[in-house]
Amino acid sequence: MSFFFSFLIHCSQLIFLIFRLFVYLAKVKLFLTHEHTWNRLASSQLFGILFANLTPDELFNNKESYFNFKLSSASASASNRRSNEKAKFLRIRDLIDDFCTQLKAPVIDESLGEQIIKNLAFMAKLLKKYKYEPIKNASSSSLSNGNEHVLSKETNNENNNEDQDDDVDDEVNHDINLEWLIKKITKEAKYELVNKPKEFTKRTLIFKLLAAIAIDLDKQELKLYLNLIIPNLQREISIEQSDQSLKCLAQEVLDLIKQIVGVEEFTYIYSTASMRRQENKEVRKRKMAQEAVLDPQTAAMKKIRKMQRKKEAKKRKMEKNKFPESKEKQRIKKMKLISNDD
């Protein structure tokens, strides 16, 4: 992969060859979630070259592109066209899932993190123009590109291909659009905030991605996603123990959004999100107070578990601060105990 990456970098005029190498790229995709960082980085960079030299329209519509590779021709029946569209969006979803899985790694290299954000930013551009919205009755699906082109419904005379379509229906049972992508990446930011509040790498990358998405959207388009974007940035600013550089980045993204949508719209949505956060906080407090009165035993057990988690966290922290020799001493003690038993 490193050789192929260097070859394409130094021979950019031969980038058209990438259309002939999709069998290789399908194998490269397997390395996006490899355990070794250099494999994940090399595979991400190869897809980055693909995205940098093709537009979303070319990648989505070209018959030889990665998402159309080995699919049936467009001259097939309406049923086959419907199956092809589902298979195409299934490939898009799987690729996005792999990029998001890279974000979940315990340690993310700076170069890998930047490449992940570039790749997801391109996928966001693609989902801005094309989206998949399945219909529950499995009789039709919708595909949107700007003016929301809708695929024609299946007629009653095309029941012979229904069994082939069922496999795709089972796999693509949710919307695949920009809203789905934003929810997916902000969920990872929330996870890091709750479970690893002292780490900032993933949230920094995700906020940069949200800024890239906001720049690519116009005012009316961005307003559709503000209820998903603003609460994450607002929460980061309000947290006292948050990293100062991360706070500044979140504020910069908010200022960018304000510049795009206008002060009036931004202020209304920002205040609404703030009120909603405060209401949820009050609801949680009331629920805990009611539980302490109505079910004191359960409340006491929760308090005990909370204290136990604090003790375990403190114990783990103390063990990490010990010198390496202590582990060696423990190993020697265990060996002595085993020898004494013998």
- What pLDDT, on the 0 to 100 scale, is given for residue 173? 67
- What pLDDT, on the 0 to 100 scale, is given for residue 314? 81
The secondary structure of the chain, three-state, reads: CHHHHHHHHHCHHHHHHHHHCHHHHHHHHHHHHCCCHHHHHHHHHHHHHHHHCCCHHHHHHCCCCCCCCCCCCCCCCHHHHHHHHHHHHHHHHHHHHHHHHHHCCCCCCHHHHHHHHHHHHHHHHHHHHCEEEECCCCCCEEEECCCCCECCCCCHHHHHHHHHHHHHHHHCCCCECHHHHHHHHHHHHHHHHHHCCCCCHHHHHHHHHHHHHHHHCCHHHHHCCHHHHHHHHHHHHHCCCCCHHHHHHHHHHHHHHHHHHCHHHHHHHHHHHHHHHHHHHHHHHHHHHHHHHHCHHHHHHHHHHHHHHHHHHHHHHHHHCCCHHHHHHHHHHHHHHHHHHC
CB 185 within 8 A of CB 206: yes
Mean per-residue pLDDT, 172-194: 87
Residues 6+ apart with CB under 8 A from 198: 241
Size of the chain in residues: 342
Tell me the pTM: 0.72
**Where does residue 269 fall: left (phi above 0), alpha (psi -120 to 50 degrees), or beta otherwise?**
alpha
Distance CA 111, CA 208 (A): 14
Single-letter code of the amino acid located at 236 = E
- What percentage of residues in the chain have a pLDDT greater than 90? 20
- What pLDDT, on the 0 to 100 scale, is given for residue 260? 92
pLDDT of 224-259, one tens digit each? 999 999 998 988 888 876 688 889 999 999 999 999
- What pLDDT, on the 0 to 100 scale, is given for residue 168? 42
Distance CA 80, CA 75 (A): 9
Mean per-residue pLDDT, 58-65: 76
pLDDT at residue 22 is higher than 70: no
- What percentage of residues in the chain have a pLDDT greater than 70? 69
pLDDT at residue 68 is higher than 50: yes
Residues 6+ apart with CB under 8 A from 131: 143, 144, 175, 176, 177, 178
Question: Residue 305, exposed/middle/buried by CB under 10 A (0-12, 13-18, 19+)?
Answer: exposed
**Residue that wins the pLDDT comparison between 255 and 294:** 255
CB 228 within 8 A of CB 186: yes
pLDDT at residue 307 is higher than 50: yes
Question: What are the distances in angstroms from CA 337 to CA 326, 330, 340, 341?
Answer: 17, 11, 5, 6
pLDDT at residue 8 is higher than 90: no
- What pLDDT, on the 0 to 100 scale, is given for residue 160? 42
- What pLDDT, on the 0 to 100 scale, is given for residue 306? 85
Residues 6+ apart with CB under 8 A from 99: 32, 44, 116, 119, 120, 123
- What pLDDT, on the 0 to 100 scale, is given for residue 23? 57
- What pLDDT, on the 0 to 100 scale, is given for residue 153? 36
pLDDT at residue 70 is higher than 80: no
Average pLDDT, the chain: 76
Mean per-residue pLDDT, 148-169: 40
CB count within 10 Å of CB 235 equals 17
pLDDT tier at 92, thresholds 50, 70, 90: confident
pLDDT of 77-86, one tens digit each? 556 666 777 7
